């Protein structure tokens, strides 16, 4: 939550600006989790699948924004139905998994730790 409203920056992976997968990469590095800088689609190929009912804080949640069924967004699950990700409109910002915008775009979750 220390990075709330850090602006969105395509390809960004620093506190000066993040895109969604850059934010994941930065946080993994900060907390000692080995990772390579990659895309949300490639992140979806890692870890173990987790049902929405069994989400835990820190799980990665994935969305298809631009094209149905094509993963192009990722965030961290916060708990209580909320996730944190880099958005173009608000930068790093918490959102509801079940909002009218995000709910229909939800593609699944992975646990990578």
CATH number for the domain that contains residue 71: 3.90.1720.10
Domain that holds residue 45: 13-111
Considering the domain boundaries, does residue 71 fall inside one?
yes
pLDDT confidence of residue 39 = 94
Q: At CB < 8 A and 24+ separation, what contacts does 33-42 make? A: 33/112, 33/113, 37/13, 40/71, 40/72, 40/73, 40/74, 41/70, 41/71, 41/72
**How many CB atoms within 10 Å of residue 88?**
12
Query: What distances in angstroms separate CA 20 from CA 6, 53, 75, one per listed residue?
Result: 12, 23, 7
Considering the domain boundaries, does residue 3 fall inside one?
no
20 vs 89, which has greater pLDDT? 20
Considering the domain boundaries, does residue 50 fall inside one?
yes
On whether the CB atoms of residues 18 and 33 are closer than 8 A, the answer is: no
Q: Per the structure, how many domains does the chain have?
A: 1
The tens digit of pLDDT for each residue in 2-39 reads 999 999 999 999 999 999 999 999 999 999 988 899 99
Q: Which of 70, 49, 9 is nearest to 60 (CA)?
A: 49
Considering the domain boundaries, does residue 44 fall inside one?
yes
Q: State both tokens at 63.
A: 């969305």
The pTM (predicted TM-score) of the whole model is 0.94
């Amino acid at each position: 939550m220390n990075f709330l409203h850090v602006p969105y920056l395509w390809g960004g992976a620093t506190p000066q600006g993040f895109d969604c997968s850059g934010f994941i990469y930065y946080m993994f590095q900060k907390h000692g989790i080995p990772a390579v800088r990659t895309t949300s689609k490639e992140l979806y190929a890692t870890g173990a699948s987790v049902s929405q009912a069994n989400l835990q804080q820190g799980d990665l949640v994935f969305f298809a924004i631009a094209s149905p069924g094509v993963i192009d967004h990722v965030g961290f699950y916060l708990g209580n139905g909320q996730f944190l990700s880099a958005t173009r409109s608000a930068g790093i910002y918490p959102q509801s998994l079940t909002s009218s915008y995000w709910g229909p775009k939800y593609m699944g979750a992975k646990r990578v730790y």
